[in-house]
Amino acid sequence: MLQPHLEALDACLEQQVEKFEPEIREHVSYSIDTGGKRIRPSLIFFSGWNSEGSVDKNLVQLAAVVETVHLATLVHDDIMDEADIRRNRATVAKKYNNATAVLLGDALFSHAVYLATQFPTNEVCREIAVSMRQVCTGEILQTMQRGDPDLDMETYFRVIDLKTAELFRVSCHLGAMLAGFDRSYIEAAAAFGRHLGIAYQIYDDMTDLFGSQEKIGKTLGTDIATGKPTMPIILMRDRLPESEAQELRETLAGKIEADVPRWLEKLKEMGIFEEVRQAIFEEIRKGREAIEHFEDNPSSLHLRTISQLLWNQVAAL
């Protein structure tokens, strides 16, 4: 049942292109056609799962809203990160220019809101607006913190909660709401989404430091080199002897050149990866706990399954 929903979503997103002004359709089409993982839409479809076997148009519409918001943030993110490539294609900022990327992201945001206003009540639109603001705030904080050698774990969690977990949370919240489930399940699904989002971001950050460079398809250790303290880096810094910790701080602050292979080796030696893995499992567990008393709702079983997929990926790292 997931596949027909994802296909309906793809069709819906393609149809959106012609709703933009003719002069920018080419740009919109380029930014939508990303072949992404569609995690947030999957959360929506699972949270609002019914057993009738038909494609739920409301869920597809909601998935189009959330995915469009997500695509807009990617377009803007790639400007911040000065990224040239995303999923084997030139980023919008690279293909056109930064100015176009800023404005195209804005146009995508606006269109997502427009799609959200197609629901009979204001609630979808209001929740999406608040989530959008939180995602942007998380990104601003991350930008401000780049190169901060003393970033603590609490602040790290605060940022990933805003920039990633919020959109996972709202996907589950609104998916369950549109399916007409009762308040207690809506809140449980939302809590599940939030913990899964935190787990996912820790995992995503972890793949920058650990894993096969060829398999992941990106250079390892860029977060160390660009001064972005993630969970493994914070844990390592706080346990190293003072002189080495100081060197890591200066690396993060950009005062000395990053010796990436050395720090990657150090992370392994210190057993940091196992600890991060356990932190991810802990978030997944918390998410599952939130929905564990709803086993009579098939939606909860599907959410559990999606959490297992992440668990397996992390275990295989």
Binding residue for a second copy, selected from 7, 14, 18, 106, defined by CB under 8 A: 106
Upper half-sphere CA count for residue 289 (Cβ side, 13 Å): 7
Q: Coil, strand, or helix at residue 222? A: helix
Q: Using the rule CB under 8 A, which residue among 2, 6, 17, 24 binds a second copy?
A: 24
User: For 143, what's the count of Cα atoms within 13 Å in the CB-facing half-sphere?
Assistant: 13
* 29, 70, 77, 137, 152 from 101: Cα distances, Å: 13, 14, 10, 19, 32
Give CA–CA dist 208/268, Å, rounded.
14
Among 140-148, 194-202, 232-240, 289-297, the segment contacting a second copy (CB under 8 A): 140-148
Does 32 help bind a second copy (rule: CB under 8 A)? Answer: no
Distance CA 192, CA 204 (A): 18
Q: Does 143 bind a second copy (CB under 8 A)?
A: yes
Residue 304, interface with a second copy (CB under 8 A)?
no
Does 80 bind a second copy (CB under 8 A)? Our answer is yes
Of 105, 149, 193, 197, which lies in the binding site for a second copy, with binding defined by CB under 8 A? Answer: 105
CB 132 within 8 A of CB 69: yes
Binding status of residue 122 toward a second copy by CB under 8 A: yes
Check binding of 253 to a second copy (CB under 8 A). Answer: no
Give the chain's largest Cα–Cα span. 63
Of 46 and 156, which has the nearer Cβ to a second copy? 156
Alpha-carbon distances of 53 from 1, 49, 128, 233, rounded to whole Å: 7, 9, 27, 46
Q: Which is nearer to a second copy, 11 or 130 (CB)?
A: 130
Nearer to a second copy (CB atom), residue 105 or residue 149: 105
Question: Which one of 29, 34, 50, 100 is in contact with a second copy (CB under 8 A)?
Answer: 100
141 vs 264 by CB, closer to a second copy: 141
C-alpha span between 151 and 93 (Å, rounded): 29
Binding residues for a second copy, rule: CB under 8 A, are 20-21, 23-24, 27, 73, 76, 79-80, 97-100, 102-107, 109-111, 113-114, 116-122, 125-126, 128-130, 132-134, 136-137, 139-141, 143-144, 162
